[in-house]
Amino acid sequence: MDPEQEDEAAVLAAQAPVMQAAWAFAGAYWVDRDMRAAWRAVHPTLRRCWAQAWLMPLIDQARADGYDPDEVVEAFTADDVDHDLWQPFARTQIKQDATLPVDRETWGVKVNPDFVAPDVMLVRLLPVPAGGVIQPGETYMSVPLLMRYDEGAGWRLLNFVSEQIPEPGWPPRLDRSS
């Protein structure tokens, strides 16, 4: 291998963990429709925002049913959620995004992610073009997956279908385009 090929191989090897983490979410969420497995690949900031966004229109009913919205959201930040409202949440989220036809044979994560911040990368999930390579100037449909690195946990999904870093709150800021 010449030095240029070695450099390219080193760059690809360094990017492999973020791309694998992105696919861990995409495969679990869109292919397997397994919200628990997908949730483990989600950064706590997105977990908090996602739970808040789901709970916002239901907040009065949740309170009437005896749930404290902040306690529900806090419970949803765990890797393995143990809460009465998890199943209704998981069911609605999987159904809501069921229209993206992702599969393991024809979709992949684009190499050469974009750096957004020192610990944040933007990767793209896309249908793999014929021949497996996007040609220069060729346009393609893609789904943005914003990834954040945490010590210990590694790369996790910070947002999807958006390039915006989410902000928790009532309401949270996710800036989803779909």
6-30 per-position pLDDT tens digit? 666 566 666 788 989 999 999 999 9
Tell me the average pLDDT across 132-155: 85
Longest dimension (CA), the chain: 67
pLDDT at residue number 9:
59
pLDDT at residue number 145:
93
The single-letter code of the amino acid at 148 is: R
Alpha carbons 112 and 124: distance in angstroms, whole number: 9
pLDDT at residue number 52:
97
Question: SS3 sequence, the chain?
Answer: CCHHHHHHHHHHHHHHHHHHHHHHHHHHHHHCCCHHHHHHCECHHHHHHHHHHHHHHHHHHHHHCCCCHHHHHHHHCCCCCCCCCHHHHHHHHHHHCCCCCCCCCCEEECCCCEEEECCEEEEEEEECCHHHCCCCCCCCCCEEEEEEEECCCEEEEEEECCCCCCECCCCCECCCCC
**Cβ proximity of 39 and 79 under 8 Å:** yes
Binned at pLDDT 50, 70 and 90, residue 48 comes out as very high
- Residue 144 or 132, more confident: 144
Domains and CATH numbers, the chain: 3-160 (3.10.450)
The single-letter code of the amino acid at 35 is: M
Tell me the average pLDDT across 101-129: 84
What is the length of the chain?
A: 178
Crossing angle, helix 86-96 and helix 44-55, to 10 degrees? Answer: 90
**Cβ proximity of 73 and 52 under 8 Å:** yes
Q: Is a pLDDT exceeding 60 seen at residue 178?
A: no
Burial of 155 (0-12, 13-18, 19+ CB in 10 A): buried
Tell me the average pLDDT across 51-65: 96
pLDDT at residue number 11:
60
Pick left, alpha or beta for residue 2 (phi over 0 → left; psi -120 to 50 → alpha; otherwise beta).
Answer: beta
